[in-house]
Amino acid sequence: MAQAHEDERRSPRSKVFLSAVLEWAGQSLPVILRDLSEHGALIEMTDPIPAESEVLFCRKDLRVRGQIAWVRGKTAGISFGRPLKSEVVLRHINRPAPRTVDEGMHRRPGVATRAMSAEEQRWFNDMTRQPASKKRSR
């Protein structure tokens, strides 16, 4: 069967770089989770697991049974036995914390909204002052 293209997948995948564990044949194998969707996951592993092996995928409080769908070198795809709810997938994806912005660094001089500081006033005066050679004589 031909390999499915990204746009033919059953559910969108979220790119991640997280630790997880596979339980297989009585062993716990640490893996790196590279992407996660409602129907499966892409993992990196140090010890290969044969394709079609039954596994238990574990990430924090998530535990879902699945099967190794394919193996290519150190990467493998897991097909989950039951689809995850989208809110479960989202709970296991780390979102970056919002960056705090130093308002003092990114503000424009307030000409009409507040009084300018002495430094802003000096900057404004320097920018609006015409050189003596450009002044018109009367």
Q: Cα dist. 127→80, 94, 118, 133 in Å?
A: 64, 46, 14, 16
- Where in the chain are the domains? 7-91
CB 57 within 8 Å of CB 73: no
pLDDT digits (tens, 9 = 90+) for 54-66: 999 998 888 999 9
Q: What is the pLDDT of residue 82?
A: 92
Is pLDDT above 50 for 104? yes
Q: Which helix (H) or strand (E) holds 126?
A: helix 118-128
Q: What is the pLDDT of residue 111?
A: 54
Phi, psi for residue 86 in degrees, rounded to 5 = -60, -35
Structure tokens at 6: 């990204």
Q: Which CATH architecture has domain 7-91?
A: Beta Barrel (2.40)
pLDDT band at 121 (very low <50, low <70, confident <90, very high): confident
Residues 62-88 have a mean pLDDT of 91
The verdict on pTM exceeding 0.85 is no
